Amino acid sequence: MSPVRILLATDAASEGIDLQNYCNYLIHVEVPWNPNVMEQRNGRIDRHGQKHEAVFIWHPVGRTHDGRALTPGEIVGDHEYLMRAASKVETIREDLGSVGPVIARQIEEIMLGRRTGFDTSSAEAHAARARRFVSAERQLRERIQRLHNTLLQAQDEFHMSPANIARAVEVALDLAEKPPLIPRHPSSGSGATIFTVPELAGSWGKATHGLEHPHTRERRPITFDHAVAKGDDDVVLAHLGHRLVQMCLRLLREEIWKVEDTKKLHRVTVRSAPDSLMSQPVVLLWSRLVVTGGDHRRLHEELTLSGGELGHDRFSRIHQVGRREELLEAATPIAPSDGLFSVLKRRFENNEWAIMAAVEARSKERLDSLDRTLTDRMTHDVADLDAVLSELERTITKELRPDEEGSELYLPGLSPQEMNQVTKDIAALEARLARIPEERRAEEAAIMRQYADPVARTFPAAVIFLVPESMAARG
């Protein structure tokens, strides 16, 4: 395939085709006399979903004998109008994002000799109003960026890497006695790994809906990596909300809380870590932390990691979060000998009270650190409620007092039955308006009750034993 691909098209391609996935350069061979056509052409690549950071668009301009570009006023005849049209289209497009029919009709009249100049005052006034929203849009983009950064941080904190999600799906399919995913590399030659999903029967078959290509109907592979799926329609992204991932996670959650004689998934694992990081065994516990409010409504939920060093006769809690994370990241799974597992089990049982105290201490620390977050969330909820009710109040007031807007509440000439209905509608609006202050007080009080006296509840979910490599080698 050539590294540079060029698509030549007539105006038939100016609408009904999306090229943002493949193109970010557009060259107008000529400037159409109707700016709507130019807009439509530009919209093939200058649209939501464009993969590149910048879009480049060229259109022809006149040149003097010395090669200098002509400007409006230096071109005669129809070229003068077209140059001015192109300039206006670009200026207004930058402000509004679209020109629409603002000057299209004027250009048509100019070309037909019915008009001698442009009048874009209404479009420019609209553009001036639009510019007032630029600050709000900038703030919105900044907020979206902050939310994106928070998402990336959460993915890192909760170890939601593509490899871990793939591992969870593989384990769940094994527990469900389903065929495993088949790893392979994409045809693009990148070093990424994609997976072929086998045919799944029963309710699991619904998890594979959407894997067929919408045009070729061929079954597409999946990936758990956003970077691999970006811009590639031949690979399906199996994100956390994907049916297959959701079914696997539900199965794993069910297995975690099953009773001993029916579960297939054990909640204890053993790993080894370099001797340079630890000199004696360490026990880590993943726990589910649920924070409830005054009316027992769930306010927050997360997984916490706690633990400490498991010595011969005592347990010493590791207070630093980074230290626990470092040990976990450096550890690799092993199959312990019976003797080693017996030692770990005995030490755990001898120190179980101290270990569970460390779990509760970690939950208390998280609850304390969440105090500001919950307070901010309560403030935002109250503000959102006030905004909704205030808007409702303004809308009803506007409907009941139309004289302030220079309009009428109802049209003259209504029948008695219609006037009776209008009277009832007005009375209903007035009653609704009168209820808003009390509704605001009641709803604000309900929100505050939800966030009052938060309580943390901890549910240990999994135990990880970490042993030095030398100890693992001795067994």
- What amino acid occupies position 343? V
CA distance 133 to 143: 15
Is the separation of the CB atoms in 201 and 264 below 8 Å? no
CA distance 40 to 99: 10
Is 0.85 topped by the overall pTM?
no
Q: Taking Cα atoms as reference points, which of 306, 334, 301 lies closest to residue 319?
A: 306
**Residue closest to 18 by CA, chosen among 45, 51, 40:** 45
Give me 360's structure tokens. 């509760």
Is the separation of the CB atoms in 36 and 104 below 8 Å? yes
In 311-412, beta strands by DSSP E: 315-317, 332-333
Quote the pLDDT of residue 71.
54
For residue 121, the model assigns a pLDDT of 65
- Supply the pLDDT for residue 331: 93
Report the pLDDT value the prediction gives residue 217, as an integer from 0 to 100: 82
Cα separation, 184 vs 245, whole angstroms: 19
pLDDT at 317: 95
Domain coordinates in residue numbering, the chain = 11-136, 157-256, 267-475
User: What does the DSSP 8-state code read for residue 388?
Assistant: H
pLDDT of residue 28: 87
Report how far residue 338's alpha carbon sits from residue 346's, in angstroms, rounded to the nearest whole number: 12
Question: Tens digits of per-residue pLDDT, 184-231?
Answer: 887 766 677 899 999 988 889 888 888 888 878 888 999 999 888 887
pLDDT value, residue 375: 92
pLDDT < 50 regions, the chain: 65, 72-78, 96, 405-407
- Give the model's pLDDT for residue 65: 46
What pLDDT sits at residue 390?
Answer: 92
Q: How many CA atoms lie within 13 A of 245 on its CB side?
A: 18
**Phi and psi for 456 in degrees, rounded to 5?**
-100, 130
